[in-house]
């Protein structure tokens, strides 16, 4: 019989990953979520598991481990996923130079990448804008799940296979050592893990305000094709994505490329826009995104930002006939000091696990295993 109890606050991806790791370590785990189902940043994303964007060593291995766990969850539950990799496209000589340099660097690390010419890209994938296309960098490690379905399924998996208990629709008002209060109800545990994104500022506001942490708001859109059986065959990125991910700094020519973007596409860079499209098992095409950093945001989406995203999308995808079905924004915490995550112990037995930025789907399972192993 399990003798140690753990409470996890938050049923987004970080909370679910932490609950899994704790359960496997022998804890009796209860997850408390303030809403009736997960509706935050964990379901408001591409559903991309994105190892290619992670720097070499620890972060890349964390991403690969997280992907393995996602596949275990999916294979155990029947959750659909598409392990169809990613394609970075080049329409300018400097973008193509960066892709060639990345192919050489990533190959040294035994990452499964390859450079493709136009005919190879046309043969493998659909919907690409071929006018002006010079080539692409394909990586086979990336995977897509529908985050709305995946987060709900992961919670059900934890409940069925690991005995994790869930309390939905309960707002946690206070956390102290070995104790959680929700209204008049008190829950006791040996440890408490706070995993609910930026909302931990309401539980430990002084700590939150002293941390090098901000929030990021992004805008996204979802489409269906006018051709019911249409599949792009992979996740596709335009050139702007090359200056978004840290792993791409391995290319020596990247600073020069960024310099050109700053001169020619300042409006995009000021809005933090880089454009990608993924396709889930339903055939829906998710497009984004922008990045606005602040502690407080206007709740409204900017039509102009969406127009910029779509204009750039059309430079590398034939998307004019796609039908728009959803738009939204999401908000997640982001470290400002270059760190990729946050793990704190504000009180004995109380842990804050946070700060994964926009890489929660890619990194959370692996990160949770690492931090729980230290408890």
**C-beta atoms surrounding 321 within 10 Å:** 10
> Which pLDDT score is estimated for 198?
65
Does residue 204 contact residue 275 with C-beta atoms inside 8 Å? no
> Which pLDDT score is estimated for 197?
76
Q: Class assignment of domain 86-140+213-335?
A: alpha beta
- Whose structure tokens read 């070499």? 56
Among candidate residues 272, 269, 278, the one with its CA nearest the CA of residue 294: 272
> Which pLDDT score is estimated for 304?
97
Instruction: Please provide the DSSP assignment of 306-358 as one string.
Output: HHHHHHHHTTTB--TTPEEEEEEEEEEEEESSS-S-EEEEEETTEEEEE-BGG
The ranges of the chain with pLDDT < 50 are 1
Spans of all domains in the chain: 5-47+148-211+338-372, 86-140+213-335
Interstrand relation of 113-116 and 174-176 (parallel, antiparallel or unpaired): unpaired
Among candidate residues 29, 30, 28, 31, the one with its CA nearest the CA of residue 2: 28
> Which pLDDT score is estimated for 1?
38
Among candidate residues 358, 360, 220, 332, the one with its CA nearest the CA of residue 284: 220
Domain covering 5-47+148-211+338-372, topology: FAD/NAD(P)-binding domain (3.50.50)
**pTM, rounded to two decimals:** 0.96
């Amino acid at each position: 019989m399990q003798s140690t109890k753990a409470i996890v606050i938050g049923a987004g991806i970080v909370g679910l990953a932490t609950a899994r790791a704790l359960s496997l370590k022998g804890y009796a785990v209860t997850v408390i979520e303030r809403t009736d189902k997960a509706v935050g940043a964990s379901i408001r994303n591409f559903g991309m598991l994105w190892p290619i964007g992670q720097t070499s060593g620890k972060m890349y291995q964390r991403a690969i481990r997280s992907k393995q766990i996602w596949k275990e969850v999916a294979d155990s539950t029947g959750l659909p996923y598409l392990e169809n990799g990613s394609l970075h496209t080049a329409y300018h000589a400097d973008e193509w130079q960066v892709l060639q340099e990345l192919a050489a660097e990533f190959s040294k690390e035994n990452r499964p990448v390859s450079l493709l010419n136009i005919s190879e890209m046309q043969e493998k994938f659909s919907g690409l804008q071929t006018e002006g296309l010079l080539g692409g960098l394909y990586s086979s490690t990336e995977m897509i799940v529908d985050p709305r379905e995946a987060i709900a399924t992961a919670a059900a998996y934890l409940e069925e296979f690991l005995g994790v208990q869930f309390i939905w629709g309960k707002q946690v008002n206070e956390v102290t050592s070995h104790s959680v209060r929700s209204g008049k109800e008190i829950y006791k545990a040996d440890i408490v893990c706070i995993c609910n994104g930026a909302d931990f500022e309401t539980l430990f506001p002084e700590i939150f305000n002293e941390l090098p942490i901000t929030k990021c708001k992004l805008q996204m859109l979802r489409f269906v094709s006018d051709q019911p059986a249409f599949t792009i065959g992979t996740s596709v990125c335009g050139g702007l994505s090359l200056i978004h991910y840290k792993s791409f700094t391995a290319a020596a020519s990247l600073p020069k490329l960024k310099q050109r973007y700053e001169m020619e596409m300042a409006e995009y860079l000021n809005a933090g826009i880089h454009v990608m499209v993924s396709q889930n098992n339903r055939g829906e095409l998710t497009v984004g995104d922008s990045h606005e950093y602040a502690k407080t945001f206007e709740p409204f989406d900017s039509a102009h930002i969406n127009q910029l995203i779509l204009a750039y999308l059309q430079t590398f995808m034939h998307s004019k006939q796609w039908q728009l079905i959803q738009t939204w924004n999401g908000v997640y915490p982001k470290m400002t000091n270059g760190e990729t995550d946050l793990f704190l112990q504000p009180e004995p037995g109380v842990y804050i696990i946070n700060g994964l930025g926009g890489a929660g789907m890619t990194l959370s399972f692996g990160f949770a295993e690492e931090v729980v192993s230290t408890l």
